[in-house]
Amino acid sequence: MAKLSLFERRRRRVRTALRKRAGGKPRLSVHRTGQHIYAQIIDDADGRTVAAANTLGGKGANVEAAAKVGQDIAAAAKKAGVTSVVFDRGGFLFHGRVKALADAAREGGLEF
């Protein structure tokens, strides 16, 4: 078995902790790259994506763009009938763009 990167170890640790306290809630998963940021709400019980948002249509992925994605995912979640989720930051630190997305999603009405 190959040695896992620090990022992958952190991602698995976060996901394992989420499973313990999720209680059947959907998961708000965040993925960040150098150019874009993606968010999706995943129902792990059914194995399907309920709602998704990203910065692909816009220009850049700064903190303001991440906040816009947070607002978009909250609106899409409301439309799909989801109000409460667990936040899955993956292996990313809760800082900067990830934090901006989470704060905007909370302001948009998602509870986590």
Helix residue spans in the chain (DSSP H): 6-21, 63-80, 97-107
17-45 mean pLDDT: 94
What structural domains does the chain harbor?
6-107 (3.30.420.100)
Confidence label for 102 from pLDDT (cuts 50, 70 and 90): very high
Q: Are the CB atoms for 39 and 68 separated by under 8 Å?
A: no
pLDDT digits (tens, 9 = 90+) for 45-96: 999 999 999 999 888 889 999 999 999 999 999 999 999 999 999 999 999 9
Contact status, residue 66 vs residue 29, Cβ threshold 8 Å: no
Q: How confident is the model at residue 100 (pLDDT cuts 50, 70, 90)?
A: very high
Confidence of residue 11 (pLDDT cuts 50, 70, 90): very high
Q: What is the pLDDT of residue 5?
A: 95
- Token pair 């947070």 is at which residue? 70
